[in-house]
Amino acid sequence: MDDPANSSLLPFKAIVYATDFSSCSENAGHYANSVARKFDADLLVAHAFVLSYPAMEVEAEDGRKKKSEQRKELETTLAATAKRFGDGVKRAVPVLLEGDPREQIPRLAGEHTPSLIVLATRGRGRMERGIVGSVAERIMRVSGGPALTIGPLVPACEPSRPLFQRVLYATGLSPAAARGAAYAAAIAEAFGSSLEVLHVVNPDDVADKDRFSEVQMRFRTVLKEMAPQHAERISQPEGLVEVGSAHERILEYLQESKVDLLVLSIRKSSHLWLQSRLSGAFHIIANAPCPVLTITG
């Protein structure tokens, strides 16, 4: 697995913008463009599809030398999308992938590491078409790298406004936290952002005051060890420790503090792991008023 603490893996060399050509994907495209310009990265505008049966028959007739109308239409639409979102980037490349997007998008990102997947989700309802709902969730789960998700409540990306001025890193105390911290710090450094770190504790784990003090002390120690070279970026050196439901408190903090980017470090065994679209992590992603960068591992 990639270690972002290794400077050779940052900044991103490729931004993989996964699109289903829906209106929901438009805002994600603008964010992908902004991030690609900031990191001087290639913008890979990707769409994965499965051939319809009639299209398969057409292409099978001549040993796949003949393109079906489905493929030609998708190539035209994808080329136009790449051109529309390619303004100012190093290179905008349309990439048409045949197969399940839940498998093809992570594979493409893995071939261009260090990379960042950018995609949209509609959140609740209308979740079974394209890069939305369970598809977006599966991409984030399969991908070993970071994914930037633009939910339905995220405001339109404005090129004239500085991006990600305030970054919040919500983390646990696992070894995976260091990996997420490196990404959070790299983003903050690249965009000149302030960086805040939040740890939400389950009420059952801090039944008394002494136990809460122990958790605070442990978190401060872990925080210092996460990314010591980026300590100056953290606006509260001791971090923030709060008690409650993780997904509820994180969403409240985003609203209260006007955060521009949330970074989530998620372990497979954590209560925030993306096991279903109703999980805590996906609830945060679908309801966050800002983009969410997920680091899974």
DSSP strand E in 186-226: where?
A: 194-201
Q: How confident is the model over 71-90, as a mean pLDDT?
A: 95
Based on the fold, state whether residues 129 and 179 are members of the same structural domain. no
Q: In this predicted structure, which of 55-64, 104-113, 139-148 has the lowest mean pLDDT? A: 55-64
263-296 per-position pLDDT tens digit: 987 765 555 544 544 456 788 888 999 999 988 7
Which residues contact residue 6 at a Cβ distance below 8 angstroms, ignoring those fewer than 6 apart? none
Give yes or no for residue 297 having a pLDDT over 70: no
Task: Determine the Cα–Cα distance for residues 124 and 47; give it in Å rounded to an integer.
Answer: 22
- Counting residues of the chain whose pLDDT is more than 90, the rounded percentage is 36
Give the structural domain span for 56. 7-150
Q: Domain for residue 214, yes or no?
A: yes
34 & 142 share domain: yes
pLDDT of residue 52: 84
Question: For 13-41, how does the pLDDT look when each residue is reduced to its tens digit (9 = 90+)?
Answer: 999 999 999 888 999 999 999 999 999 99
11: cis peptide before it, omega within 30°?
A: yes
In a domain, 270, yes or no: yes
Q: Are residues 188 and 288 in the same domain?
A: yes
- Confidence (pTM): 0.84
Q: In Å, what is the CA distance from 221 to each residue of 123, 173, 238, 274?
A: 36, 10, 9, 28
Note whether residue 18 is domain-resident.
Answer: yes
If you average pLDDT over residues 111-132, what whole number do you get? 69
- CATH number of the domain that 241 lies in? 3.40.50.620
Which of residues 121, 150, 179 is at a domain's end? 150
Cα 182 from Cα 176, distance rounded (Å): 10
* The two structure tokens encoding residue 209: 């005051």
Tell me the sheet residues that pair with 16: 44, 117
**Which of 100, 137, 92, 109 has the alpha carbon at shortest distance from 292?**
137
Model pLDDT for residues 41-66, shown as the tens digit of each residue: 999 999 999 988 777 877 777 666 78
Please indicate, yes or no, whether residues 145 and 189 belong to a single structural domain of this protein: no
Query: In whole angstroms, what is the distance from residue 102 CA to residue 139 CA?
Result: 5
Q: Same structural domain for residues 18 and 123?
A: yes
For residues 41 and 90, the answer to whether their CB atoms sit within 8 Å is yes
Which pLDDT score is estimated for 237?
47
Residues 175 and 112 occupy one common structural domain: no
pLDDT, residue 238, reads 47
Q: Mark whether 133 and 201 lie in a shared domain.
A: no
Quote the number of domains for the chain: 2
CA distance 291 to 283: 13
